[in-house]
Amino acid sequence: MTIDFSKYPDEHGHFGPYGGVFAPETLMAALEQLKNEYKLVKNDPAFLKELAEDLQNYVGRPTPLYYAKRWSEHLGGGKIYLKREDLNHTGAHKVNNTIGQALLAKRLGKKRIIAETGAGQHGVASATVAARLGLECVVYMGADDVIRQAPNVARMRMLGATVVPVESGTKTLKDALNEAMRDWVTNVDDTFYIIGTVAGPHPYPAMVRDFQAIIGRETKQQALQHENKLPDVLIACVGGGSNAIGLFHEFLKDDSVEMYGVEPAGLGLDTGQHAAPLCKGKPGVFHGNRTYLMQDKNGQILGTHSISAGLDYPGVGPEHAWLKDIGRVNYVAVDDEEALQGFRDLTRFEGIIPALESSHALAYATKLAPTLSKDTMIVVNLSGRGDKDMNTIAQIEGIEF
């Protein structure tokens, strides 16, 4: 392949036909300002130094690349390594991005940050950086997610954030994003919107990717240390797709590395009750960018279903849409049941309780690993830990608190 991946997106945020800036007029100036400011800082040594120090001393990076020996041997096939993003401060990869965007907010002199959240991990990561910088923080969260991710709601409130349950539409992540947009349109002068994934209008998909790309850069070095080679296979779950892009991006140019993005098949890809736009959707425009969407024939956005709130979203980052079309990344899906089994397996074989989002990537590894030779190196992005999912799991497993 001769694509120079570092040249994407173009100046206007396009990844081939995807991405772009499809935003209400009131936000256009703010997006332009953000684009210009980000262009300034992304090669600014002082900014990058501050970011690197925060990631090391506050977040706890680098995160380990851990060989899951017992689980790999049980599956009998490739060697599975876990990139331990669950060990980051606040428990997921989300903080890599909020640290970066919060530094930008500070530079732009914004006093207030807003965020949308599904599982609550991005909300917690936003509330955390807001507390640290002394900024006001408002987090929008679908009313259904407020219930199923209660522990994270409590954490956000303890950190001083205002959590606003969103009662409109399907009461999940997409509706939280709508409401955050409405807030931003209203308070654009003093407010910085920290989008949590690689979607939204340009420059968000590129900027969030760049902040998350440290996952892949570390993985590359660590793979060389462990196995003296590049990984053969990368696996990550895809909702909006930030942890997946974070792992994949560094390796896009390495043709030998195979990549799998795992979407949530919910109750099954043929039931309509899923959140897998890359596997089952078609392109459209939503939340500021052109990408694959779950939509009906009239262009209305469909409700989604996934056991994991963080993947319960009808769209996906535009770079993934493009990587699908050019065939660089394989997009597959696993259902709720398979994800739950992935959750149980990692917990029992390795003593690591994963997030339900990450469990989708683990579930795909359980399918793929046995088909591969013993010297195949597989890296699964363990994007978050499962503390927040205790209510959901306990209910399913009949465990009482």
Partner 1 sequence: MSRLHTKLAALKAAGKTALIPYITAGDPSPKATVALMHLLVEKGADVIELGVPFSDPMADGPVIQKAVERALIHNVSLDDVLEYVRVFREQDTETPVVLMGYLNPIEAQGYEAFANAASSVGVDAVLTVDMPPEESKGYLEALQQASLDRIFLVSPTTPDNRLSAVNEKGSGFVYYVSLKGVTGSKELDVEDVARNMKRLQQSLSMPMGIGFGIKDGATAFEMAKIGDAVIVGSALVKLIEANQSKGSYDIHLAIGNKMTEFRTALDKADALKGQE
- Contact positions toward partner 1, by CB under 8 A? 12, 20-30, 32, 168-169, 174-175, 177-178, 181-182, 185-189, 283-288, 290, 293, 295, 297-301
Task: Copy the structure tokens of residue 303.
Answer: 């409700």
- Angstrom CA distances, 293 to 146, 171, 204, 307, 361, stand at 24, 18, 18, 19, 21
Minimum distance from residue 18 beta carbon to partner 1 (Å) = 12
Q: Please tell me which residue in 94, 171, 174, 388 is annotated as part of the active site.
A: 94
**In the bound complex, what is the minimum distance in angstroms from residue 273's beta carbon to partner 1?**
17
Encoding tokens for residue 198?
């690689």
Rounded CA separation 31/26 (Å)? 10
Count of positions (residues) in the chain = 401
Q: Please, which residue, 295 or 381, has the CB nearer to partner 1? A: 295
Instruction: State which residue, 8 or 248, has the beta carbon closest to partner 1.
Output: 8
Q: Looking at residue 161, what DSSP letter applies?
A: P
* CB nearer to partner 1: pick between 60 and 299: 299
We find the least distance from the C-beta atom of residue 360 to partner 1, in angstroms, to be 25
Q: Catalytic pick from 126, 306, 308, 383?
A: 383
Q: What is the DSSP string of 264-304?
A: EEET-TTTS-S--HHHH-EEEEETTEEEEE-B-TTSPBPP-
Looking at beta carbons only, is 20 or 384 nearer to partner 1?
20
What is the largest distance, in Å, between two alpha-carbon atoms of the chain? 57
CB 94 within 8 A of CB 122: yes
- 168 is an active site residue: no
In the complex with partner 1, which residue's Cβ is closer, 18 or 211?
A: 18
In the complex with partner 1, which residue's Cβ is closer, 26 or 371?
A: 26
Q: At closest approach, how far in Å is the CB of 301 from partner 1?
A: 5
Contacts of 145 (CB under 8 A, 6+ apart): 117, 118, 119, 120, 171, 172, 173, 176, 309, 312
CB of 58 to partner 1, least distance (A): 33
Q: Are 79 and 72 in contact (CB under 8 A)?
A: yes
83 is catalytic: no
Q: Is 116 a catalytic residue?
A: yes
Q: ∠ at Cα 269 (382, 316), nearest 5°? A: 55
Supply the minimum distance, in Å, between the C-beta of residue 39 and partner 1.
17
Single out the catalytic residue among 72, 79, 110, 116. Answer: 116
CA dihedral of residues 293, 296, 300, 303 (deg, nearest 10):
-70
- Which residues are the active-site residues? 94, 116, 383
